[in-house]
Amino acid sequence: EAGVVQSPRYKIIEKKQPVAFWCNPISGHNTLYWYRQNLGQGPELLIRYENEEAVDDSQLPKDRFSAERLKGVDSTLKIQPAELGDSAVYLCASSLESGRARETQYFGPGTRLLVL
Amino acid sequence: SQQGEEDPQALSIQEGENATMNCSYKTSINNLQWYRQNSGRGLVHLILIRSNEREKHSGRLRVTLDTSKKSSSLLITASRAADTASYFCATDEGGSYIPTFGRGTSLIVHP
C-alpha cells in the first residue's frame, strides 16, 4: 500500500515569492492534515480536512496561507507571499477518520522549505 | 501551543541499553500517542494508549500512562543503532481528538 505522498521534497525560494505544496493521502483516508514543523520542535497543526471540508483551520495564518482539497482526495497548501519565518518542514498526514473513533495518522516525508 | 512535553530533550546511550523517555501534559486527554521521526523524514506512529489503559507493549516498546500524574513514559529495551531518532508524544486536548505534539526527545544509540 502506498503511503502519503508529498511533493516537492525540498523547496528554496526568495522571500515574497509564492510556493505550493502538494499531498496525496493514502487511498480511502477521509481525513487529511497539514502540519508545520519548525527546527527542534514538534509538528503544529495548520488545517484538518474531513473529505473536502476544512473543519479545523484555526492555526492557519489566513493572510498568506491557503489550502484546498478538491474532490476530497489530494490537497494543496499555498503560501503567498512567503516570509523568512515560514522556513520549516511542512508535513501532510492522513487517517481513515478523526472524531470519536480515533484513528492513527500516517505522515508523509514532508516538504522542507527554505525562504531566503 | 504544545500540550505534551518530553523529557529529556536529548538522550545518548550505548547499543543494548534501555532508553526511557517521559512525556508530561497539562489537560485531560482521551489518548496519547508516541511517534518516531528519523532525520529528515516524516513521523512514524509507534503506539496509541487510551486514557483508561495503564500499559501497552509493542515489540521492544513499552508505554505506560499515569493519568493522575498526567504523564507517560516510553521504554525502548535492548536499543539498537537504528533506534536513533527523535521521539514525540502527542496528546489530544480533551474532546478535540486532534493530536498536539511536544518538542520531542532526541535519542542517539551508539553502536
Handedness of CA A59, A60, A62, A68 (dihedral sign): negative
Look at residue B99 in the predicted model and tell me its pLDDT. Answer: 78
B27: CB partners within 8 A, 6+ apart: B3, B93, B94
Task: For residue A90, count CB atoms less than 10 angstroms from its CB and return exposed for 0-12, middle for 13-18, buried for 19 or more.
Answer: buried
Task: Sort out which chain B residues have CB atoms less than 8 A from A112's CB and list them.
Answer: 40
Look at residue B94 in the predicted model and tell me its pLDDT. Answer: 64
Query: What's the whole-number mean pLDDT along residues B65-74?
Result: 95
Give the best residue of B2, B31, B43 to mutate against chain A (max A CB count within 10 A). B43
| Whether residue A101 has pLDDT greater than 60 | no
- Taking CB atoms and an 8 Å limit, are B98 and A105 in contact across chains? no
**pLDDT digit string, tens, across residues A32-85:** 999 999 998 999 999 999 889 998 888 899 899 999 998 889 999 999 999 999
Give the best residue of B50, B98, B100, B106 to mutate against chain A (max A CB count within 10 A). B98
B2 CB near a chain A CB, below 8 Å? yes
Kindly report the nearest CA distance between residue A47 and chain B, in angstroms.
11
Look at residue A63 in the predicted model and tell me its pLDDT. Answer: 93
Query: What's the whole-number mean pLDDT along residues B29-57?
Result: 90
E strand spans, B1-111 = 5-7, 10-14, 19-24, 29-37, 43-50, 55-58, 61-66, 71-76, 85-93, 99-101, 105-110
- Taking CB atoms and an 8 Å limit, are A112 and B40 in contact across chains? yes
Query: What's the whole-number mean pLDDT along residues B33-48?
Result: 88
Q: Three-state secondary structure along A42-85?
A: CCEEEEEEECCEEEECCCCCCCCEEEECHHHCCEEEEECCCCHH
Give yes or no for a contact between A75 and A62, defined as CB atoms under 8 angstroms apart. Answer: no
> DSSP 3-state assignment of B8?
coil
Give yes or no for a contact between A59 and A78, defined as CB atoms under 8 angstroms apart. Answer: no
Give the position of cell 500512562.
B65
- Among B88, B98, B102, the residue with its CB nearest the CB of A48 is B98
Chain A / chain B CB contacts < 8 angstroms: 52
Look at residue B5 in the predicted model and tell me its pLDDT. Answer: 82
